């Protein structure tokens, strides 16, 4: 695993994850499996630049993805260890 930092949006259900991709279709994101260290969510996550997560959150709310359906994390990978910080919820 390479060293990097990014924003990660996780979802309560695969349906919410798929709906969110439609809302965020203009965004630059990567669909990735939810990191194993984050257990309380479904398996589909969206990885994006940390600077984009706030705008993404606003759009998701406007796009009628209920706040309780997703979580936002800041992820830092350093020498193979993963640090994660919950930014929302």
Partner 1 sequence: MFIDARGKACPMPVVMAKKQLDSGCGALTVEVDNETAVENLKKLGTSMGKKCEVENDGKDYKIFFPQGGEISNKTASSDTSGYSVFIGREFLGGGSEELGANLMKMAIYTLSESEKAPEYLLFMNGGVKLVAGEEKQIAENVNSMIAKGTKVLVCGTCLNYYKIAEKLEAGEVSNMYDILSAMEKSEKVISL
CA distance 84 to 89: 14
User: What residue ranges bind partner 1 (CB under 8 A)?
Assistant: 1-2, 14, 17-18, 21, 30-33, 43-44
- On whether the CB atoms of residues 51 and 6 are closer than 8 A, the answer is no
Nearer to partner 1, 48 or 71 (CB): 48
Least spacing, CB of residue 22 vs partner 1, in Å: 10
CB 27, min distance to partner 1, A: 12
Helices 14-23 and 53-62: angle between axes, nearest 10 degrees: 100
Question: Which residue's CB is nearer to partner 1, number 16 or number 58?
Answer: 16
């Amino acid at each position: 695993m390479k060293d990097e930092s990014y924003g990660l949006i996780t979802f309560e259900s695969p349906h919410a994850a798929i709906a969110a991709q439609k809302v965020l279709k203009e965004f630059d994101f990567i669909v990735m499996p939810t990191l194993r260290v984050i257990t309380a969510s479904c398996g589909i996550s969206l990885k994006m630049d940390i600077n984009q997560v706030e705008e993404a959150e606003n759009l998701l709310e406007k796009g009628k993805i209920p706040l309780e359906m997703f979580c936002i994390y800041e992820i830092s990978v350093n020498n193979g260890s993963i640090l994660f910080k919950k930014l929302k919820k």
